[in-house]
Structure 1
Amino acid sequence: MITSNQQYHPFFFFLFWVLPAAALAQSNLQVSDFNGDGHPDTLRWEYSGGSGFGGRQIELAPGNGDEPIVLNTIGSFGQMLRLIEIPGRLQVPSARGFREAMASVLVAGEEMREQPDPSLRWLLSAFRGAPRRVSGRQFIWVQPSSLQWEPLPVILPEAYALQLEAPVFAEVGSQMANHPVEGNDEASGWLIYYGHNHTLDRFEPRLADKAFGLRLLATRHGAWVETGERYAWVFVADGQLFPAAQKLRWTSLHEARLLSEELVLLHTYAPIAGEHRIYVFDLNTARIGLLLMADGHSYPCSIRQLDGRLQVDAGGASFSWTLAGLLSELRE
């Protein structure tokens, strides 16, 4: 037992106070003439965060005495994407060196990429697709995306950033809860993709289903189909357009299965709220719909398929659809 009168060795405070604080705030420093004006500039970046959020505070102090330029990437651990608007001061040609220096430290361990990987490409196609068609019959909504086949093998992404120009930056941001440039279609910026969460903690993709000449593989937060020597992503739970687990170190994609040679079922689960969502993806049109259930947020939630029908038991109630009916509504 520890009482208020006990004396602690100094190492006790180092172990229980100093080390945890250092883990939450890690600073880095780089001094260089980034813009080539003959004055050494100072780039600082610091990581900070808690159990549900984190990110970097980045500051570049020009060597000529101008005001520092500050960026902030701090956000929720429950979201795969983060948008950072490029400040106006970094848009001018003379600031290119500053812009590249700050972009290089947006994400640990990865430099800027020119193009998205296939998983992010699918997600961006959904963000930039036509507006969701509200249904209300078998689906709550139907969302367009694109199906882009790639040659095997699959290479899962790490965390990285890429630059989005106008109007793509605004199109993606308009689908997010905290749109950084609402009303400004001319804005450009960086998109950070925390794709490493697909395989966080050595989680390996699993073979979720195999039928109809297809293989369906799943990560913590996404899935792709394989046929022959090619593959295509069909889903990513990003925490914005497609809600994910409250923390991405948890698994969002609870179940994935092939309903037919044309339909893929994707069942996500958010542990804290107990929220179940069941999506159906059409491999021909690349449209994905969120199934309508009277109570889709109750646990347990079980899924069965028999004689061309899909049945879901949730919250003490049963819901049933024909596969033909689902396919027809997705293709309207």
Structure 2
Amino acid sequence: MIRNLLAVLALSVLAAGLSVSGPASDTTGHGPSGGQEKIIKRDFDGDGFLDTLTAMVDGGSGFGGDFVTLKDGRTGRTFAYSSWGSYGRFLRLIPFDDDLMKPENKGFRTALEEALFPGIPQGPIENSLAWLIDAYSHPVEEPEAEGNPVFSQKIRFEPRWTEGQPAPPTSYYVVTSDETLLRGYPIYQEDNPAVDSAHRQAWLVYYGENHATLEPVPAAGDVTVFQSAHGIAVSEGGRSCWLFVNDEVLTDGPAKLRWPSIKSVLLSGDLVFVHHAGVEDHLFVVDFRAGVVGRLNPEIFPASGGGFEVRDGRLFLRGGPKAGPVTFETIREGLK
């Protein structure tokens, strides 16, 4: 009953042209559900014909989003898109029709964006999203298949150092035509168009508000590590760089972003050790100079979690069947 009322309220605010928070960010733990439709008749493109926008918010405990269609009153053509997806994913990638990029259809695109991403502005790509885009643009490596006994997964990225301290990310969307990302990012929503010759760009939505805060981790030395609920950044010499962001598909993150995935962080030289909690526990090691993240083999760091410490150039682990120390030399060799 309460969820149904929330859905009606959200759509009523949309019809009035006001902003509301989108359910896909799951900042309260669940999105409104019930599937009520709101129909808005308006001349969105200014051609003298009434167009029809239909919006519906739906969701449950783990998934949710907005379903929107817009019918051109002059031609009868219909555009239909959805932001539906898992609350454990930071990103939505929604390919859309090339025709919406034409100047005469700007009103259509604006109306669709306001309905699909209520309360979320369009913005430039900042460094935490840039890290995710970079990570998804590289193939995830499986070192075990190549005889690497230390790491079960490797993610490569290009370290991007910018002036100033890292800032807590916010939610926003961008329009992207990055072909590597369009064809490489896993899209689960079958209601949206496929990437093809008529759909060569997409809305990329980033629910960055789920990072919550970004706080420094106590450590000695010139490098400062910052930890959010789902990400890690470092600063050095007045510059900063993001080096890890959890996402459900990429790092086996939790089913909901309101559940923090970063348990603890430890810096040693140019290596950052990240105790990560998703469906299972993992220990990631990041070489932020080289731009590579490695997930420790579960035989070394068990899925049930375990303690670890670093001393004398070695990583000591507790709880796994192969819990002996691992030297930094072995770690760096495995990250190559």
Q: TM-score range by the shorter chain?
A: 0.7 to 0.9
Relative to the length of structure 2, the TM-score reads: 0.81
Deviation at 1:150, TM superposition (A): 1.7
| Alignment partner of 1:56 is 2:66 | yes
Q: State the secondary structure of the residue aligned to 1:280.
A: strand
User: For 1:9-56, what per-residue CA distance to the aligned partner results, in whole angstroms no more than 9, with x for missing partners?
Assistant: xxxxxxxx3x33212453233554322212232334332211111111
Look up the match of 1:159.
Answer: 171
In 2, the alpha carbon distance for the partners of 1:146 and 1:258 equals: 19
Percent same amino acid among aligned pairs? 26
Q: State the secondary structure of the residue aligned to 1:104.
A: helix
Aligned partners of 2:301 and 2:320 also within 8 Å: yes
Look up the match of 2:271.
Answer: 263
In 2, the alpha carbon distance for the partners of 1:49 and 1:39 equals: 33
List runs of 5+ in structure 2 lacking aligned partners: 16-39
In 2, the alpha carbon distance for the partners of 1:100 and 1:35 equals: 10
User: For 1:228-284, what per-residue CA distance to the aligned partner results, in whole angstroms no more than 9, with x for missing partners?
Assistant: 322111110011212211111011011111022x111112112xx4x1111111122
Alpha-carbon distance change, 181 to 256 in structure 1, aligned in 2, over 3 angstroms: farther
Q: State the secondary structure of the residue aligned to 2:65.
A: strand
Deviation at 1:182, TM superposition (A): 6.9
Aligned partners of 2:171 and 2:207 also within 8 Å: yes
Q: State the secondary structure of the residue aligned to 1:301.
A: coil
Aligned partners of 1:276 and 1:298 also within 8 Å: yes
Give the greater-gyration-radius structure (CA).
1
Alpha-carbon distance change, 22 to 121 in structure 1, aligned in 2, over 3 angstroms: same
Look up the match of 2:208.
Answer: 195
User: For 1:119-171, what per-residue CA distance to the aligned partner results, in whole angstroms no more than 9, with x for missing partners?
Assistant: 00111111113552624321113221011112224332222111111514424
Alpha-carbon distance change, 176 to 278 in structure 1, aligned in 2, over 3 angstroms: farther
Aligned partner of 2:250 among 241, 266, 286: 241
Aligned partners of 1:104 and 1:112 also within 8 Å: no
Alpha-carbon distance change, 177 to 70 in structure 1, aligned in 2, over 3 angstroms: closer
| Alignment partner of 1:116 is 2:128 | no
List runs of 5+ in structure 1 lacking aligned partners: 1-16
Aligned partners of 1:293 and 1:319 also within 8 Å: no
Amino acid at match of 2:203: W
Aligned partners of 1:209 and 1:257 also within 8 Å: no
Look up the match of 2:137.
Answer: 128
In 1, the alpha carbon distance for the partners of 2:102 and 2:82 equals: 20
| Alignment partner of 1:212 is 2:221 | yes
In 2, the alpha carbon distance for the partners of 1:176 and 1:264 equals: 31
Look up the match of 2:261.
Answer: 252
Higher strand share: 1
User: For 1:108-129, what per-residue CA distance to the aligned partner results, in whole angstroms no more than 9, with x for missing partners?
Assistant: 222222x311100111111113
| Alignment partner of 1:142 is 2:142 | no
Aligned partners of 1:308 and 1:322 also within 8 Å: yes
Aligned partners of 1:211 and 1:258 also within 8 Å: no
In 2, the alpha carbon distance for the partners of 1:178 and 1:266 equals: 31
How many residues align? The count is 304
Identify which range, 83-92 or 235-244, moves more after superposition: 83-92
State the superposition RMSD in angstroms.
Answer: 2.6
Q: State the secondary structure of the residue aligned to 1:314.
A: coil
Larger RCO (CA under 8 A, 6+ residues apart): 2
Aligned partners of 2:67 and 2:116 also within 8 Å: no
